[in-house]
Amino acid sequence: MSIKARFATEKFLSGYNCAQSILYAFREESGLSEEIALKIECGLGAGMGRKEEVCGAVTGGVLVLGMRYGRGAKDDKSNTELTYNQTRKLMDNFAEKHGTYICRQLLNGCELTAEEGQKLVSGIHRHSIDCPCQNDG
């Protein structure tokens, strides 16, 4: 397991969502503080606010790609195209490995807005069971 994967896994197992865990692992290379990295991604967990859409591990990865390759105020449009290409690669690779990048499908229909689904995720955090969206995400 890479050091970034280990950081992300440790953060996830301590109770943070998939999105927060991914950005946290890459925070230093982007110059983000721990606090800002965790806050930025907070709403993107559980498939974006428990809507179970795009997996938080993927949205966290997209944010990392944007920080790494994205178009800033002094960059030209080629940075946008590079970021879009890298984003598509990330999403395609994730889907190839896991069958999808949609949270509800990764969780096999577990409803995260229901108390039962939230207990399942809490159990994942407490018992170190693999989260489907955390595997090398």
User: What value does the mean pLDDT take over residues 14-43?
Assistant: 93
Would the pLDDT of 19 be above 90? yes
Domain ranges of the chain: 3-44+51-108+116-127
The per-residue pLDDT for 64 is 96
Would the pLDDT of 127 be above 60? no
- Contact call for residues 53 and 47 (beta carbons, < 8 A): yes
Would the pLDDT of 122 be above 60? no
Instruction: State the Cα–Cα distance between residues 60 and 12, nearest whole angstrom.
Output: 12
Would the pLDDT of 135 be above 60? no
C-alpha triplet 24, 19, 58: angle, nearest 5°: 115
Would the pLDDT of 120 be above 80? no
Of all helices (H) and strands (E), which one includes residue 78? helix 78-98
Long-range contacts made by residues 120-123, C-beta under 8 angstroms, separation at least 24? 121/46
What is the pTM for the complete model shown? Answer: 0.81
Q: In the structure, what pLDDT confidence band is assigned to residue 46 with cuts at 50, 70 and 90?
A: confident
Would the pLDDT of 39 be above 90? yes
- Contact call for residues 52 and 103 (beta carbons, < 8 A): yes
Q: What is the mean pLDDT of the chain?
A: 85
User: What value does the mean pLDDT take over residues 101-129?
Assistant: 66
